[in-house]
């Protein structure tokens, strides 16, 4: 193999081997998994008519984690750096790009953020571009002797009749292309791809960044595992159960009937006077027979009438399968999916959360919250690396920034605030008690600024009482004692009164 193309071909092979797993993850997230049937006839029939009744639960573990991953702020002790971070965020619409990157990282297990400097005509970096890249086309190759170090990154894509590839190193970028309609499976298929057609040597572009402009979000190391990987098996079972269940609906609406006959009494050719066979019916030539009009039946329904069936000793119908035969296994598989993926069951089935306490929610959420916090730690480190790289390209040599997340869980219910209250009464420092409740340090510092212990205790008591009232009013609304609109109005008025009193106390 051409030594110059060794990294290129190795990277292409890595992409090829990893691609099926990523495609499978995408298929399960999108709910496009083909049903598994032991009957070839059934499988062909459903495929032929494009029939599906998909219940896609597999995407829930991905969305559940992604919905808890919200960056609260990226700040710096230097106000100028904070302002520059804000500008980068706005220029790249990261309020949209970041959630999408986090979701893709959960869907595939891996996601990549490209950070590319943009220069003016004088070679000065004027801005940076940040955008998501799929692991189906990009892969970081890690060093064999140090799995934390990026050896290089490959990006490969199709552009019309050509295959394109770029290799990113700490000191350069290499550009490769194939000829027309080449598959790029052999080293000889790949040619230099100059950035400037007039400069043949511009296929390689050297830089002094000292690192690669590719940042890897992952759920595990060195490569991630889809958040819903454990949902594949249960989802297969759900698909099969749901398809089979829908197949029985016709039989439930239109039961299949049967008639039992005596061997000697199945001849109905001896029509009684006034009866007609189809061929003898007056309108037969017009395509109408007694079976079309119902006139071939001597059965009459009404009080005192008797129905006489000739030649049959018994009639009946086949009962369709009961819905519970399918629904109960579906529910089992949903529960199994929740347990395997560490996702609270109520995120699959909101009805399961009714009439439950906040304590039970906290116990159920334990593994899930730990998973979300782990993602915040991992993704936060990658976001930090990406912004430090961007700030350095914009002329900040040693930027100091902090990435803060919206808490994975914060106290909002009555029992939670009562627990905070009891901790403070027992002597736990108020700052620690509030941070253990899931609030960020910046929030706690702001709340505690200029507030003495008695005032803090009063505020905690008010929050606990307010949360308790909200919980009781919610239960009353569920029982029909009051309407939801009345509850909303009462709570809004109470909160407004509390806010007005707080303002009056501060002004006083």
Q: Which residue did the predictor score with more confidence, 318 or 272?
A: 318
Lowest-confidence region among 183-192, 237-246, 293-302, 449-458: 293-302
Per-residue model confidence as pLDDT tens digits over 162-177: 999 999 999 999 999 9
Question: Where exactly are the structural domains of the chain?
Answer: 1-253+319-409, 413-508
* Both structure tokens of 256: 């299949």
pLDDT of 244 above 90 = no
Report the greatest alpha carbon distance in the chain: 108
Per-residue pLDDT band for 276 (boundaries 50, 70, 90) equals: very low
Per-residue model confidence as pLDDT tens digits over 88-118: 999 999 999 999 999 999 999 999 999 999 9
Per-residue model confidence as pLDDT tens digits over 344-400: 998 898 766 554 555 556 677 889 999 999 999 999 999 999 999 999 999 999 999
Distance CA 322, CA 492 (A): 47
Ranked by mean pLDDT, the top range of 60-74, 229-243, 279-293, 440-454 is 60-74
Q: At what angle do helices 6-30 and 94-108 cross, to 10 degrees?
A: 90
pLDDT of residue 356: 54
Per-residue model confidence as pLDDT tens digits over 396-449: 999 999 998 888 876 555 556 666 777 777 777 777 777 666 666 666 777 677
Cβ atoms of 277 and 265 closer than 8 Å: no
Distance CA 35, CA 46 (A): 9
Phi, then psi, of 494 in degrees rounded to 5: -65, -45
Cβ atoms of 353 and 76 closer than 8 Å: no
Per-residue model confidence as pLDDT tens digits over 460-504: 667 667 666 776 776 777 777 777 777 677 767 666 666 666 655
The count of other CB atoms within 10 Å of the CB of residue 149 is 10
Mean per-residue pLDDT, 21-45: 78
């Amino acid at each position: 193999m051409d030594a110059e193309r060794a990294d290129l071909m190795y990277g292409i092979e890595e992409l090829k081997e990893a691609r099926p797993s990523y495609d499978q993850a995408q298929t399960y997230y999108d709910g496009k998994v083909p049903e598994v049937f032991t009957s070839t006839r059934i499988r062909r029939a459903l495929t032929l008519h494009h029939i599906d009744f998909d219940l896609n639960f597999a995407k829930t573990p991905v969305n559940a984690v992604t919905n808890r991953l919200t960056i609260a702020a990226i700040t710096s002790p230097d106000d100028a750096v904070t302002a520059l971070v804000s500008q980068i965020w706005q220029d790249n619409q990261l309020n949209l790009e970041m959630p999408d990157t986090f979701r893709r990282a959960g869907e595939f297990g891996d996601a990549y953020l490209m950070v590319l400097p943009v220069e003016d005509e004088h070679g000065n970096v004027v801005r940076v571009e940040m955008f998501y890249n799929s692991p189906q086309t990009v892969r970081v190759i890690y060093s064999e002797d140090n799995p934390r170090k990026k050896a290089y990154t490959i990006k490969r894509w199709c552009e019309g009749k050509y295959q394109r590839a770029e290799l990113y190193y700490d000191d350069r970028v290499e550009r490769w292309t194939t000829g027309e309609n080449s598959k790029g499976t052999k080293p000889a298929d790949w040619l230099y791809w100059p950035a400037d057609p007039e400069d043949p040597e511009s296929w390689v572009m050297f830089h002094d960044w000292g690192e690669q402009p590719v940042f890897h979000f992952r759920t595990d190391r060195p490569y991630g595992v889809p958040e819903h990987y454990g949902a594949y098996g249960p989802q297969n079972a759900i698909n099969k159960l749901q398809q089979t269940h829908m197949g029985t609906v016709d039989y439930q609406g239109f039961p299949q009937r049967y008639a039992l006959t005596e061997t000697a009494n199945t001849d109905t050719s001896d029509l009684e006077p006034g009866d007609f066979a189809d061929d003898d019916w007056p309108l037969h030539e017009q395509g109408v027979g007694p079976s079309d009009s119902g006139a071939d039946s001597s059965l009459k329904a009404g009080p005192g009438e008797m129905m006489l069936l000739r030649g049959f000793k018994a009639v009946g119908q086949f009962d369709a399968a009961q819905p519970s035969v399918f629904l109960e296994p579906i529910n089992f598989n949903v529960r199994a999916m929740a347990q395997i993926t560490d996702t609270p069951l109520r995120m699959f089935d909101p009805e399961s959360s009714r009439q439950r306490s906040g304590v039970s929610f906290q116990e159920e959420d334990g593994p899930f919250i730990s998973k979300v916090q782990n993602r915040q730690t991992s993704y936060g480190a990658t976001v930090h690396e990406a912004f430090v790289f961007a700030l350095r390209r914009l002329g900040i040599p040693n930027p100091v920034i902090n990435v803060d997340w919206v808490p994975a869980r914060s106290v909002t219910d009555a029992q939670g605030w009562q627990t905070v209250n009891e901790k403070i009464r027992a002597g736990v420092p108020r700052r620690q008690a509030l941070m253990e409740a899931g609030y960020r340090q910046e929030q706690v510092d702001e709340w505690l600024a200029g507030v003495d212990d008695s005032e803090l205790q009063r505020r905690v008591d008010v929050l606990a009482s307010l949360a308790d009232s909200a919980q009781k009013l919610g239960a009353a609304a569920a029982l029909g004692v009051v309407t939801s609109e009345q509850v909303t109005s009462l709570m809004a008025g109470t909160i407004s009164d509390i806010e007005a009193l707080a303002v009056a106390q501060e002004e006083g």
